[in-house]
Structure formats: C-alpha cells, structure tokens
Amino acid sequence: MADSQTPRVDELEKGPWPSFVKEIKRAAEKHPAAGDLLRQLDLSYAEKVGHWKHGGIVGVRGYGGGVIGRYSDKPEEFPHVKEFHTMRVNQPSGWFYTTKALRELCDIWDKYGSGLTNFHGSTGDIILLGTTTENLQPCFDDLSDAGFDLGGSGGGLRTPSACVGPARCEFSCIDTLDVCHSLTLEFQDFLHRPQWPYKFKIKVAGCPNDCVASIARADFAIVGTWKGSIQIDQAAIAEYAQGGLDIQEEVVDKCPTRALAWDSERKELKLKVEDCVRCMHCINKMPKALRPGAQRGATLLVGGKATILKSAFLGWVIVPFMELKPPYTELKDLLRKIFDWWDENGKNRERIGELIYRVGMRTFLKAVGLPPAPQMVFRPRANPYVFWWPEEVKRNA
C-alpha cells in the first residue's frame, strides 16, 4: 500500500459503523476541497487542535443569515479549503423527501460545493458543507430555482423543526408538520434577516415524548397534549396481558401519579382522569390499547437553551393549553408579542429564557398578556421577596 497522506484519520475507515472518512474520500474523488479537508483534519489529529480561522462573514444578496463563513488557517498547505463556507438549507417539515428533490440538491452541490453534507444539522437544516465565497450566490440561485430556500443563522429566527407527527405517528395531538411549515413561512423575514438580540428557536413535538427534544433545544417549544381521558380499549389491554406484558409492574407501577389501577381478574385498566399528567408512559407501552384523549391542543413552553451564558435551561410552561387549528392565529399573535418584548428588552446576546430569568416571569407574563397559572411552576416560591405592581397597593400620601 502506498504511503497514505492521512494515516491517522485512515484508522477511522475501520470498524462496523459507517465511516465519515470514507465519505470524505468519496467526495474527494470529484472535489479537491474534500481531499484538503481530510488532510487538514489529519493534521488536527496530529496536533490535537482545530485549523479553522476565527469567524467569517459571508452570505447571499438580500439575506443576513443562512451561511456560515469559514477559512482555513493553513491556506498555503490546504488551498482548496482556504474558503470553506457552510450553507444552511431549510429542510421540509419532518425531513421527508422525494428522491427527485434530493438528487437535485446533490447535483447543485456537486456543481458549486465540496460534495459534502450533513443530513442534518442539529437545528434541522440540510447542511451543505464547504464552498467558496464566489460560489455562494450562484449556488443559492440554483437552489432557489429548485425550490429550496436558505435556513437561519445569527441573531434571528432559526429554522423551525418538527417531529414526524401525524404523517406517521398515532400519538400526535397536533399537526406538527403544518404548524412548523406555517410558522416558517409566516416569519420568513425574521429568519432571513437577523434583527434580534440573539437566536430564537422553535420546535414542534406532537406529544410529550418530544421526539425533537423541543423542551431542551428550543426557546419556544410547542408540545402536543390533550384534555380529558385517555381513550382506552379494554379488549386490546386484555390482549397485552395475555401476550405476557406485566401490566401491574411495567405500566401501573410506573405511572408517576398513581392514576392507573389494574384489575387483573376482570382484565380492566382504570384511570383516574384528574390525576393523569399525560406523561405518555402507559400509551407508549400499550399503543394498540391506549390513545391520547379527543380534545387536543398543545402546551407551550419557553426558555430552553444550552449553557452559555447563565447555565442550560429546560423550557417551562407559559401556556398550559392552546388549541392549534390553521391558520394558527392565536399562536402567531403570541409569538409576535414575545418577539416584540424580547427585541425591546433583551440585552445583546441574551436568550429569551435569560431575559425572563433577569426580569422575572411576572414582567414577562404581563408584557405578553398571559394569565399566571399554577401549571407554570413545580411549586410556589419559598422566599418572601415579593414585588407588587404600584396599582395593586394604596400609596401613602
């Protein structure tokens, strides 16, 4: 075997899991940039340090985001990755594709880029990994002709994403794909032209299983839920019992609120509806027998984010229940109020969750016109440092 130029990363061609190194080598057969990428990566493996210059501001005409500029700090050694920018392309809701659409994307990217992609970025976008500044505009022109717009980056609305929803899941309480698509279209300007203190992410999950991790990975999480009883098919439950499922141990004993009781003699499952917190466990265990209730909508949560700056937050409830029917006017109005208030009050690079943490939920709720509800907290405050609005007290003369 001839001496490889990339002995370290070549190790990662071995083993059973599909190899990204093989993928880069495949792209390198057509694109010198992919070859230089692999050689630069091999150098990083030798030196245990990255070789990309800091930052990079590039884009396409009319937009302020969607492209992540990147420059090699070893341009003489690796000239084909001297410029190696990423284009974020807005994925269709739920990441469904026709092969025709995917092939068109591949052809465009082979024409203008490195032939390397991520399917997908964590926020949901199709990631086209590596092109030159010169190629950005013509690439976007062709993408646009093919019906693909750019996704978000920078201090604006990022690309919303959604779980598979009603397309292929019996648990979905809302039309996640439609909500996601409708919000993406409604707020195109905020997505393409960053104009806010920082980024803002929206994710749409059809039920509390939260298959897009909206509670952890979105500033605004829309999570399907229901009111009233779970729909129970007792005959199907008896079948699960006969099939060997230990309903007492695996379902009833795991109910977080002890809302379930199993009558093993009569083969009957009883639910105390008022105690059910819709965690999904029993439905997950017995999908043929249990279904979400018929009155459906979503719980809205705000504030989810990663560490920087004040620690990671999980989203918290701001609307316990909202019905979601097209054209989703109530939802869009609420989002507009939240955007306005945050835009007005947020500090530079302050996520909405951190702004609410800084000024308090009462200020947020008042500003966006939401009524406080016990569903918003695990438990009430334990300290007595309580603020009152001036109009709530009698002023001394």
Which 141-160 residues touch another protein, going by CB under 8 A? 141, 144-145, 147-149
Question: Rounded to an integer, what distance in angstroms lies between the CA atom of residue 246 and that of residue 215?
Answer: 31
| Side-chain-facing half-sphere of 63: CA atoms under 13 Å | 26
Q: Does 245 interact with another protein (rule: CB under 8 A)?
A: no
Q: Does 279 interact with another protein (rule: CB under 8 A)?
A: yes
Please identify, using beta-carbon distances, which residue of 20 and 196 lies nearer to another protein.
20
Chain positions 121 to 140 lying near another protein, rule: CB under 8 A, are: 122, 129-130, 140
User: Near another protein by CB under 8 A, which window of 108-116, 237-245, 259-267, 322-330?
Assistant: 108-116
Do the Cβ atoms of 79 and 36 come closer than 8 Å?
yes
| Residue of 4, 102, 134, 268 interacting with another protein (CB under 8 A) | 102
Q: Does 167 interact with another protein (rule: CB under 8 A)?
A: yes
Q: Does 72 interact with another protein (rule: CB under 8 A)?
A: no
| Residue of 266, 270, 349, 358 interacting with another protein (CB under 8 A) | 349
- Which residue spans within 207-315 are E strands per DSSP? 220-227, 231-232, 260-263, 268-271, 290-291, 295-302
Angle (deg, nearest 10), helices 352-359 and 329-345: 70
What pairing do the DSSP bridges indicate for beta strands 220-227 and 295-302?
antiparallel
User: Near another protein by CB under 8 A, which window of 50-58, 261-269, 323-331, 338-346?
Assistant: 50-58
Q: Does 317 interact with another protein (rule: CB under 8 A)?
A: no
| The length of the chain, given as a count of residues | 397
Shortest distance, position 94 Cβ to another protein, whole Å: 6
Q: Does 270 interact with another protein (rule: CB under 8 A)?
A: no
| Residue of 131, 132, 153, 184 interacting with another protein (CB under 8 A) | 184
Q: Does 45 interact with another protein (rule: CB under 8 A)?
A: yes
Do the Cβ atoms of 112 and 131 come closer than 8 Å?
yes
Do the Cβ atoms of 113 and 52 come closer than 8 Å?
no
Shortest distance, position 278 Cβ to another protein, whole Å: 8
User: Near another protein by CB under 8 A, which window of 16-24, 237-245, 368-376, 385-393?
Assistant: 16-24
47, 45, 23, 46: which is closest to 35 by C-alpha? 23
Q: Does 310 interact with another protein (rule: CB under 8 A)?
A: yes
| Residue of 77, 118, 245, 359 interacting with another protein (CB under 8 A) | 118
Please identify, using beta-carbon distances, which residue of 209 and 368 lies nearer to another protein.
209
Residues 6+ apart with CB under 8 A from 54: none
Q: Could you tell me the two tokens for 359? A: 């000024």
Shortest distance, position 135 Cβ to another protein, whole Å: 14
Residues 6+ apart with CB under 8 A from 13: 19, 21, 22, 25
Question: Rounded to an integer, what distance in angstroms lies between the CA atom of residue 85 and that of residue 118?
Answer: 13
